[in-house]
Structure 1
């Protein structure tokens, strides 16, 4: 139990003003030697994101002698130009590489002293690395002690100390005054733990919803999709969602307080009501895929809008025609409008050349085009036909293969776009209304043979 007297006056002052981090100060400043004084100022919460400096480090050691052979550091952040420095025990000159500098030292002791001096010179706020506490920093401390050196990596002039775990030698703790140490392994464990706990919460929430007689068509990661079977008005559906929200939040609050004696900061929120909804199942399963769905929602004015998530209409690696085709097809099916004639007409116009400008692909070139040897993707084949290549390439598929969109000298391969763009888009939803793309255009295709 916490009493009012247990709370420090300064903490209470900040809490009552909802100041949990940075704050702004309004008042008359009085400059003193080394600090500024305010008398009865006005404090309010303020947004602030510090500009931090980060140093990522990695060491290499001699397996037999434990001697440090090299220390690599990558520094970046506020006031620093991103660069990598490698401290290495060697008498041979090593020329610098691109954004990489080598510093040679004749002896391990010289290397350790130079590295610590460099760390204090660049003055990072964060030290990070993979297993940086249990191996890198622990080993540096051990090697410094061999030469009677302190591991001088702190801001306060105090030696850094790496404290081994009491029960687990792989659970050490780094105490470096003025700096924060982030170990990649610990961060990964924390992330996995958070994800696992979140998954458990969603699964339990799913059980609670189904216990009330509702059907959950998808529940994983951070969302639950509930199907209200039967006839519901939009207002009734929204009220049901809000009632579920209140019931679930009450259950979680009571559960966490009862079992863990902790306040509950979990909050499930009713997000939206889809009047019409489409979610394709995952391959080989009858479970829905949260990352891919489409649905109709209405705003406060009663205006309807289709929301797409993860389908071709929101993906840049599909052609503009495919995205427009999908949006129009979904709107027709959701609104109960005829769609067969629309599909046949669009295919015919495509073969007539009416949509050539909308048949372009746009892809990012992520590496040197000459690095592709065995498997050369279409966008790289097109890029190799240009005298100069940027980060993006727009191209068409022609009967002579991929060609840059601005220098096509072959007939466009409309059959490719029919099979690889229009058909997959259409069959995604047509299968659920008893149709298929091939059946709809089967008689029409005789004209294009």
Structure 2
């Protein structure tokens, strides 16, 4: 039997369960030698209580015939300086019973929500990857190791991936499963049906024909056992594909053994009636493309596979609303399965390939690995900024003699948001944008803002601590968060040098989330004094920076969170603008270095950069007001490589405006920035709209964020359209599409909003003129020569219509 004594790899999955000899942890690790199942036996669950509550706790447990396996006083304290004891149990279920007995009587418990598997890793500073030391034996296709020593390391193993997508009937009976692995020759579609000749363009499809749904599930199971992928990717793959596979296997009373240890695929519905759930696939990880894009801070008008792939590649699915002969896509799939199964197989495979391409383009697997290695979060964990903070911070806090507070121990209070300056509206030539690099992380690092640091700082003499806001003071030398951010900042610089984009991006998101969790009531370390010491310091820095710039003779026209917009009155070239931008950045950095040294005796880690130059820039007013707007502008960004128009907060970048509005605004500003007349363009657009030439651009696409019957008092247009659509679907015996959220396309007609699939009334062109064109034109026209407005401009031309 082949044996090893050490291997290193990436943690793919983690599991904890009760056994007769204690809690067992099961980690699946992918190494360069192959996958390894690591089992840790005999562990105990732990939670903490205050020492002063121990006598009462023991009395309560005795009444219920409960007992702890061990009670150990610790040299740790709460933030209120109360000593604690640890309550250990070999059973998760008994530990929960002990906790319930205490909470029923209002006795506080601490750190009870941390899973044994997570605590085991975080207390050993194991994040993402692990070094396994022990007796490692070969078991079939994988290695096995029991009770080894685990230590931190970095991942170097190659990860194998399969993109999986299923097709099914409207009644959710399986038709086919597509599987792609990055190799065209190995890609496959497992499809129910009799084998057919495969003429072009289907001659290259690798189709495995099976007799029925049960045979399809068995063939899929065999494929997994032979090909043994580490990662399964897909689109809504957890809550649709994996859920449906598990449900169909259960219906047929078979175990669908897709796990690496030949265990069955399991899907557990969440208790919140959201329709979401959790996949358990031992030894493998399931990564959903939608969740990974959101983790990656990617934003799209819609997260449908069609929308994202069109946005990234101008290529999409083979069945769309436009090319389907049926209103409901499910009916189109059923028709293809019954009449043109080769066409359906191609569609199935195309979906797999699109997902594979998106993951590759956005480097989503690499990002998930980097995030796991930075924070210790499981690869498939969605969101979880608070959990990431806890993983990084809690072990360090323990070593400083404290335990973590509970969520809600400190009453949630509002903290000010980022600084936003009242803008000076207008149309400008040559505007510079200066950005503070990672402002909030830099404030935390510079002023030592930290949960532990505040507890210790408030104990110190005022003259020895660093003053924060709202009564906060921070220790100069007892803290952890600034050190964590120092390490992340250094790692980010190294990632930049290595041009490791996923690593850079992961670090940036994690660093920027550190303020957010301190300001979130869902974080155990939430305290308005901490969050306010960050944001209000940011306000101070931005206000003083603006005043400093103006003392140098420049005009500040806007400021937002970490960006300052500076107008160069006498600029005549990009070279002049670039020179002034660099000089300004240098002077501002010198100012803050001196000021922080003088007032706080601290080194400044603030760094402002000359970021962007706009050769033309427009800052609008608030609608119906002379006051400047906030977070809304357009500019012609100019570099030596060329120019591009940037829109921020305006209609062209908002998903709830029509294509007409976006195209109108983009063309309008292109003409304005080129100093061309816009009069004829506006008149022509209104004329074409009224003539019906722009109908394809008038469709609203909006998301239904609640169940359709949940809209009672306020019924927006998209809901009215969705109700019309589903009333018609019901009448025609078609599946209801909009009852449980979804996305609807509709037009505004003379009879109100109507869905495009059941359009009956004529389009209300005046609505589009008043609500889509007029607001865009009137934002810019007053700043142009002639000072016209949309109403006057159009009414003057009425004889033309």
Which TM-score band applies after superposition, normalised by the shorter structure? Answer: 0.5 to 0.7
How many Å separate the matches in 1 of 2:100 and 2:643? Answer: 73
Give the match for residue 438 of structure 1.
791
* Partner residue in 1 for 2:336: none
Aligned to 2:743: 392
Structure 1 pair 252/287, CA: closer, same or farther in 2 (3 Å)?
farther
Q: 1:220 to 1:286 in 2, by over 3 A?
A: farther
- Identify the residue that residue 366 of structure 1 maps to in structure 2: 705
The counterpart of 1:132, out of the listed 391, 406, 409, is 409
Distance 1:129 1:355, change over 3 A: farther
- Which residue in the other structure is 2:663 paired with? 324
Residue by residue, what CA displacement relative to the aligned partner does 1:192-235 show, whole Å, maximum 9, x if unpaired? 22111011001111111111111111134211111111243211
1:266 CA displacement: 0.3
Q: Distance in 2 between matches of 1:260 and 1:105?
A: 49
Match of 2:612 among 249, 272, 279: 272
Please give the alpha-carbon distance, in whole angstroms, between the structure 2 residues aligned to 1:217 and 1:31: 61
Is the 8 Å Cα contact of residues 128 and 183 (structure 1) preserved in structure 2? no
Q: Deviation of residue 256 (structure 1)? A: 1.4
Residue 313 of structure 1 deviates from its aligned partner by: 0.6
Cα distance in 2 for residues equivalent to 1:447 and 1:282 = 32
Residue in 2 that maps onto 1:421:
772
> What's the CA shift for 1:275?
0.6
The question of 1:260 aligning with 2:537 is answered: no
The alpha carbon displacement at 1:338 in A equals: 2.0
Q: Which residue of 2 is the match for residue 206 of structure 1?
A: 546
Which residue in 1 is equivalent to 2:762?
411
Shift of 1:107: 8.5
Whole-Å separation in 1 of the counterparts to 2:100 and 2:791? 74
1:423/1:236 CA distance change after superposition, 3 Å = same
Cα distance change on mapping 1:283 and 1:439 into 2, 3 Å:
closer
SS at match of 2:609: coil
SS at match of 1:226: strand
Matched positions, count: 315
Residues 108-137 of structure 1, C-alpha deviations (whole Å, 9 max, x = no match): 359689x899757655554775423799xx
Conserved? CA contact 2:613–2:639, under 8 Å: no
- The 5 Å alignment of 1:329-368 reads 329-368=668-707
**Residues 1:263 and 1:321: Cα distance change in structure 2 (over 3 Å):** same
SS at structure 1 position matched to 2:637: strand
Match of 2:647 among 308, 319, 323: 308
Residues of 1 paired with 2:103 and 2:679: CA distance? 79
Query: Which stretch shows the higher mean deviation, 229-238 or 332-341?
Result: 229-238
Give me the whole-angstrom Cα distance separating, in 2, the residues matched to 1:236 and 1:396: 49
- Say which SS state the counterpart of residue 610 (structure 2) adopts: coil
Q: Distance in 2 between matches of 1:106 and 1:262?
A: 45
Structure 1 position 429, deviation (Å): 0.5
Change (3 A) 1:111 1:265: same
- Say which SS state the counterpart of residue 714 (structure 2) adopts: coil
Stretch deviating more after TM superposition (308-317 or 372-381): 372-381
Are the aligned partners of 1:292 and 1:310 in contact in 2 as well (CA < 8 Å)? Answer: yes
User: Bigger relative contact order, structure 1 or 2, given CA contacts below 8 A and separation 6+?
Assistant: 2
CA RMSD of aligned residues (A): 3.9
Q: Distance in 1 between matches of 2:773 and 2:789?
A: 12
> Counterpart of 1:50?
none
CA distance in 1, matches of 2:626, 2:589: 29
- Aligned partners of 1:293 and 1:308 also within 8 Å: yes
1:235 and 1:330 mapped to 2: Cα distance?
A: 24
Q: Is the 8 A contact 1:133 1:183 kept in 2?
A: no
Q: Map of 1:104-115 to 2, 5 A cutoff?
A: 108=101
Q: Distance in 1 between matches of 2:622 and 2:111?
A: 55
Provide the secondary structure at the position in 1 that maps to 2:706: coil
Matched with 1:80 is none
Would the aligned equivalents of 2:615 and 2:637 in 1 still touch at CA under 8 Å? yes
**Structure 2 residue matching 1:435: 3-state secondary structure:** coil
Say which SS state the counterpart of residue 217 (structure 1) adopts: strand
Alpha-carbon distance in structure 2 between the residues aligned to 1:365 and 1:436: 35
Report the Cα distance in structure 1 between the residues aligned to 2:100 and 2:407, rounded to whole angstroms: 26
Partner of 1:232: 572
Shift of 1:187: 4.2
| Structure 1 partner of 2:502 | none
Unmatched runs of 5 consecutive residues or more in structure 1: 1-28, 33-64, 69-102, 136-162, 172-180
Q: Which residue of 1 aligns with 2:89?
A: none
Alignment partner, residue 228 of structure 2: none
Shift of 1:414: 0.2
Change (3 A) 1:409 1:129: farther
Q: Secondary structure at the match of 1:203?
A: helix
* Unpaired segments ≥5 residues, structure 2: 8-55, 61-95, 120-389, 391-403, 413-454, 461-470, 473-517, 727-736
Secondary structure in 2 matching 1:441: helix
* Alpha-carbon distance in 1 for matches of 2:622, 2:569: 22
Distance across 1 between alignment mates of 2:549 and 2:102: 64
Partner in structure 1 of residue 31 of structure 2: none
Q: Deviations over 1:127-159 (max 9, x none)?
A: 775423799xxxxxxxxxxxxxxxxxxxxxxxx
When normalised by structure 1's length, the TM-score is 0.62
Q: Distance in 1 between matches of 2:117 and 2:800?
A: 73
Deviation at residue 337 of structure 1 after TM alignment? 1.2
Aligned residues of 2:405 and 2:525 also touching (Cα < 8 A):
no
Residues 43-62 of structure 1: pairs in structure 2 closer than 5 A: none
Distance 1:431 1:281, change over 3 A: same
How far off its partner does 1:323 sit?
A: 0.6
